[in-house]
Amino acid sequence: MQMMKSAIFVEPGRIVLEDKRVPDVGPLDALIRITTTTICGTDVHILKGEYPVVRGLTIGHEPVGVIEKLGSEVVGFNEGQRVIAGAITPSGHSNACQCGQASQDGHGSPHGWKAMGGWKFGNTIVGAQAEILLVPDAMGNLSPI
């Protein structure tokens, strides 16, 4: 089992560096090795306890990295390619996404809209303050640089 270092939100005022298992890649996903990421104002608000996120979640979003592994159905990208993953990582399938409002992605909600639902890294899924990041729906959520 391959391991990686991740910055984990423990509680307001406390983030720790922990070893976590490198996630498996689904058919539409990509694993990127993080080369550059920043501390965003949102991360500061999380640390201060001003924005609620799940305790134990890796924080961070907006990373730059190199594709380490691609899912079997991902096309248009290559392993070893330098990419950026934006802060907004929508599903592409919700009503909000279909109406051009990806930042309000409510995939799985009854009406398909959720305020800031497109912000997932470090909010509802594992974030980018780690050595490796699993990017869901890689073809829609990665851009070459």
The token pair at 93 is 């399938």
In angstroms, the CA 133 to CA 74 distance is: 16
State the residue range of the domain holding 95. Answer: 88-120
pTM score, two decimals? 0.86
DSSP conformational letter for 21: E
Among residues 3, 14, 125, the alpha carbon closest in space to that of 60 is found at 125
Whether residues 40 and 103 fall in one domain: no
In terms of DSSP H, where are the helices of 48-137?
95-98
Q: Report which residue type is found at 123.
A: N
pLDDT tens series, the chain, 145 aa: 899 999 999 999 999 999 999 999 999 999 999 999 988 888 888 889 998 888 999 999 889 999 999 999 999 999 999 999 987 777 777 787 788 877 777 666 667 766 666 667 777 778 899 999 999 989 988 999 9
The per-residue pLDDT for 65 is: 98
Whether residues 135 and 76 fall in one domain: yes
Taking CA atoms, 128 is separated from 57, 75, 137, in Å, by 10, 23, 16
Whether residues 77 and 138 fall in one domain: yes
Q: Which helix (H) or strand (E) holds 102?
A: none
Whether residues 50 and 112 fall in one domain: no
Whether residues 105 and 79 fall in one domain: no
Does residue 30 lie within any of the structural domains? yes
The structural domain count of the chain equals: 2
Among residues 88, 86, 142, 143, the alpha carbon closest in space to that of 115 is found at 88
